[in-house]
Amino acid sequence: MTPGGGGGGPMKDCEYSQISTHSSSSPMESPHKKKKTTAKRKWEVFPGRNKFFCDGRIMMARQTGVFYLTLVLILVTSGLFFAFDCRYLSDQITPAIPAVGAVLFFFVMGTLLRTSFSDPGVLPRATPDEAADLERQIGNTEEIANGSSSGGYRPPPRTKEVLINGQTVKLKYCFTCKIFRPPRASHCSLCDNCVERFDHHCPWVGNCVGKRNYRFFYMFILSLSFLTVFIFAFVITHIIHRSQQTGFLNALKDSPASVLEAVVCFFSVWSIVGLSGFHTYLISSNQTTNEDIKGSWSNKRGKENFNPYSYGNIFTNCCSALCGPISPSLIDRRGFMQPDTPQPAAPSNGVTMYGATQSQSNMVGTIP
């Protein structure tokens, strides 16, 4: 009786402990584990200095104070024009004036928001494996130069040379993004990103201007020039028309908002129209602001440093910049992070571009 009862006791304890452990771990802990392993979107861990809104759909620079000033100036000036000038001009001259002004206003706002809220062409940074491989290669450069390295391994230098339409172009290595920047790309110090076909960082739109939003930036400043000239011209028309009826001083007293609009438009129209003309010149020659400031290319194809990206025709250059499909975003900011997925390592003799690897021998091509 005693051995049998003693044997039954431990068996029951063992069974109880197994059932208790199984029942408490599977159904109770698995929901909590799922919550902890929820994948984050890429914009939540984006390494650059950017702000994101609407679950990553809107991407802007971190410093956006001047952008809000741009919005206020456009909204206030246009609002005063529609509220105090358009009614008089519509009754006394033609109702087409407020209609044309409304079309220009909505076009300006649409292109401004499209420029400010979009990815300008940010290049993805190298994966940890690619970055470690390239850093190792560049770190061994001095050893090879001194003859202390063994074997025939030759690491890439800090610059690469590619041939584009007969012109040699250097690709510089970015120590922040750990990539060799493609042609015409540059690193923005304010946003801390390498941007494809980098033009400049514009605080007035609160974003970089690059390959994916340059056409919208150009249409914004061009349409803003037309809107500013349009408002200034018809505000002056309003004041002159009133002064013919009641006198100049009475006209100013009757429409103080028109005076404010005229002053704002007068001081802003010169810079806006000048900026539009400058970018029209850049588009016609297929250059960027960054290239023009640095004096990278000459306008004459006979010289040694001719612009390899120019088609030699103003119309073709304009179509290349303003027409055609927009390239997709390379950073996939609304995609989900995959922390458990192994990252591919770059080959030791390659050039890291767009998060992938290309051989230097395949980098001789035409205009991208």
Name the residues annotated as catalytic: 202
In contact, 331 and 337? CB cutoff 8 Å: no
63: Cβ contacts below 8 Å, ≥ 6 apart:
190, 203, 206
Strand ranges inside the chain, DSSP E: 50-53, 58-61, 159-164, 167-174, 179-180, 186-188, 193-195, 200-202, 207-209, 350-353, 356-359
237: Cβ contacts below 8 Å, ≥ 6 apart:
89, 93
Which stretches within 187-338 are classed as H helix?
Answer: 214-246, 248-254, 256-285, 289-294, 314-322
Dihedral (C-alpha) 288, 290, 296, 300: value to the nearest 10 degrees?
A: 30
In contact, 207 and 51? CB cutoff 8 Å: no
In contact, 206 and 190? CB cutoff 8 Å: no
